[in-house]
Structure 1
Amino acid sequence: MKQNLTTCPNCGHQFDAGEALQKHLEIELKKGIEAQEKINALKIEELKAKMAEEKRVFEQEEKKKMWAIAQTEAQKRSDEKNAAMLAALKEDNDQKQKQIILGREKEIELLKKEQELKNQQELMKIQLEKTMLEKTKDIEEAAKKRKDEEFELVKKDFEQKLKAQMDLVNEMKRKAEQGSMQLQGEVQELAIESILTQAFPYDQIEEIKKGQRGADAVQTVINEFGQICGKIIFESKRTQNFGGDWIEKLKTDQRETGAEIAVLVTQTMPKEMDRFGEKDGIWVCGFHEIKSLVFVLREILIRTQMAKSVNDNKADKMSVLYNFLTSSQFKQQMEAIVDGFSNLKSELDKEKRAMQRIWKEREMQIEKVIGNTIDMYGSIKGIAGNAISPIQYLELGGGDESELTDL
């Protein structure tokens, strides 16, 4: 091929204009391809980041049963975006091709070389884009597969941990409920002991410790003379169902304790009872009824003990009473009572005399005040005349003392 030599007007150097232009175009095209590769790489990274964000949001919002459909939809959107980007790149390439064709028309002598170079560059670019698209697709598929595998492992690990936590929660809940029922029972026992102690301070309230055989509490009834009148044992139950063996167990505890009365305080009453009452020799009541019921039962024990005391040794007591009435001790006590009344009468007379003296002194003071008031009124009346309104009590034929008091 004949070379088209061109001479430089400055230095006189001769060079092939077509070859120089070809090298220039190769350099420019290479720079354009490198720049386009960087732009494409940035777009691919942005596309990857955007796809990853969409996948993360998608995975959070969708449920497990829609997973396969969601993956297909995400892949479809990715393909559509890739196709749109490919169309945009193709359109950009078409624009560049038109620019090259226009330049080729202006420089017709370089048309053949430019066309060959353009075809080569076009083929290289298409091949590069094809290779990049294939690699991008492979990278995306590999990343997607790796993410799916990692997500599946994380999901299985989470499910296993969740199952273990749920088992632990259920076990702790069961233990807490069991401990709560025991705690509620102990709280009711302490409340019963507190009510009995406050309501009957003279009685002895004995708590039966946990683990010891017997009822929950024993009340020893003591009357006002310090005499023991009997015992009442208490059993506290706070469950949802009434136990069938509670009555028999409490009877056994009653016999072992030697108590006269046994009371079962329960949250759930027997089916045939809706309020407190006696069942098979055992008194059954609710927590809110215990104070009233124990008051009645305690009074029964006290009256029973009183009847026993009256009947026991009646003749001996009459003899003791006669001896006491004829003794000097009784005489001294009666004298002390009479002396006390005499002292009271003497003090009363003294107070009466003292009050009469005080009343007389106050009466004289009042008379003095009234006299001074009359003198002052007369003086003012003599100076002012009828300008002073009359006071009926101080005028001739005036009113009673109440009017002066009103003044």
Structure 2
Amino acid sequence: MTEFKCPKCGHKYEVEESQRAIEKQAAALKQQQKEAQEETKRLLAEQKEKLEKENAAKAEAEIQKQVKIKEAEALKELEKEARAETKRLLSEQKEKLEKDRASKVTAEVNKQVKAKEAEVLKDLKKNMEQEAKEARNKARDLEREKLKAAKAEWETEKNRLTTQVQALETDLSSQQNVELKGEAAEIRLKADLEARFPEDRLEDIKKGAEGADLEQYINLNGREIAMMLIERKSTKTFQKTWIPKLKKDLEKSNGVIGVIVTDVMPKDKEESRFWNVSSNIYVVKADASVDFLDVLRGGVIDSFILEEASVVSEDVEITSNVFKFLSSEGKEHLVEFRNNILEKEDQLNQRNKDHIRQIKKEWKNLNDQKETFLKLWHGLQDASQTRFNLEDPKILVTDQTTE
């Protein structure tokens, strides 16, 4: 057997045994290498599979995300197109319905206008004839009322003076005299208004109650259309506080016009008998109050008639037909109606002149009565040996204070 000695350690090895050991070691090493390679291969395979699965999951998630984005965009576009199409269809349908409706309305309006045209023209002619007749009758009635009112005014004045003398003899309190004077003036004004406007309703506002003195409810053909609020003032000076108070009272009431009837006008209006404070507040002198209230009352009636007429004039077609009527046979009725208005205006102007002359005459008569009364008063003082303390030498003989 061949031996082999290690030159370093001196150990002896059998060559055959050493060879087998080397081969065995080599075989074992090779087996280990093989197993290591297989293990490495297996681990790489697992790692690869794991990476592939992770990448596949990420890719799937990204794909799903992109799919959802695309689906949302597509859905949004489809909705936009659907809305546009729906809007177009609705617009076409609306346009069609409007055309159909307009056509039907036009046909119906034309039918109704033709059906009512003859009736409207007939009624208009009848109404204008009736108004012209009423205007003539009213002018005659106004003349009769003028004579009646003048007589009633004389009787009222006579009774008022008698009552005033008796009041002066029994009560010399200044405050009571002012109250009696105001009450007498209110009574006379109410009597004058009842005589001039017998168809109207006149209501006293209770003493101490909030508000003015009189409410005049204007009657037009049996219908109360408006109310004028009247405040009667009989003091010797005009108070600026009267106007805001009347405005406040007018706002709280249902009145359309507020009027202060006063014995004395404001200092800057002393030469005037009428003061238009605002669109619905007026101040008038007592000696011409009934005539001015008549004018204001007429204005309220005219405004009411115009408002009533404006409702009818809203139909353009009917208005056009009415114009055609007035341009033909209706013209003569319109001219007659205008002439009646002018005639009434002349009558009112003449009445105003007559009223002024009558007032001057009455003032002269009342001044004579004043002198007689003062003589009587001084005689009573001398006979009774009593000194009467008169705060003011002025004496009220009418609704007007005179020196």
TM-score, with normalisation over the residues of structure 2?
0.34
More relative contact order, 1 or 2 (CA 8 Å, 6+ apart): 2
TM-score, with normalisation over the residues of structure 1?
0.34
Instruction: Specify the structure having the higher radius of gyration (Cα).
Output: 1
